[in-house]
């Protein structure tokens, strides 16, 4: 699931063009938008930035 969403974001392809190996494009889209609306992506980004800052990688 996450790999499919990352693939789509990284490549910029339309949701319908995400390879089937990642699952249904509709499921990927729904999960992505739900996580965007509830702030999950923002929390993931904040945690990754905090980890990188702690490790001195920023």
Structural domain that includes position 38: 1-9+22-56
Q: Is 14 inside a domain boundary? A: no
Q: Is 32 inside a domain boundary? A: yes
Q: What pLDDT shows up at residue 58?
A: 76
pLDDT in tens, the chain (58 residues): 999 999 999 999 999 999 999 999 999 999 999 999 999 999 999 999 999 999 998 7
Q: Is 17 inside a domain boundary? A: no
| CA distances, 57 to each of 22, 42, 46, 47 (Å) | 30, 19, 14, 13
Q: What pLDDT shows up at residue 11?
A: 97
Residues whose CB is less than 8 angstroms from the CB of residue 15 and which lie 6 or more positions away in sequence, other chains included:
8, 25, 26, 28, 29
Structurally, the chain folds into a number of domains equal to 1
Q: Is 43 inside a domain boundary? A: yes
Q: Is 29 inside a domain boundary? A: yes
What pTM did the predictor assign?
0.80
Q: Is 15 inside a domain boundary? A: no
């Amino acid at each position: 699931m996450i790999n499919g969403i990352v693939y789509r974001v990284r490549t910029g392809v339309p949701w319908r063009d995400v390879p089937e190996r990642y699952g249904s494009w509709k499921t990927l889209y729904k999960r992505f938008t739900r996580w965007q609306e509830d702030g999950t992506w923002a929390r993931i980004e904040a945690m990754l930035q905090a980890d990188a800052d702690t490790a001195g990688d920023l």
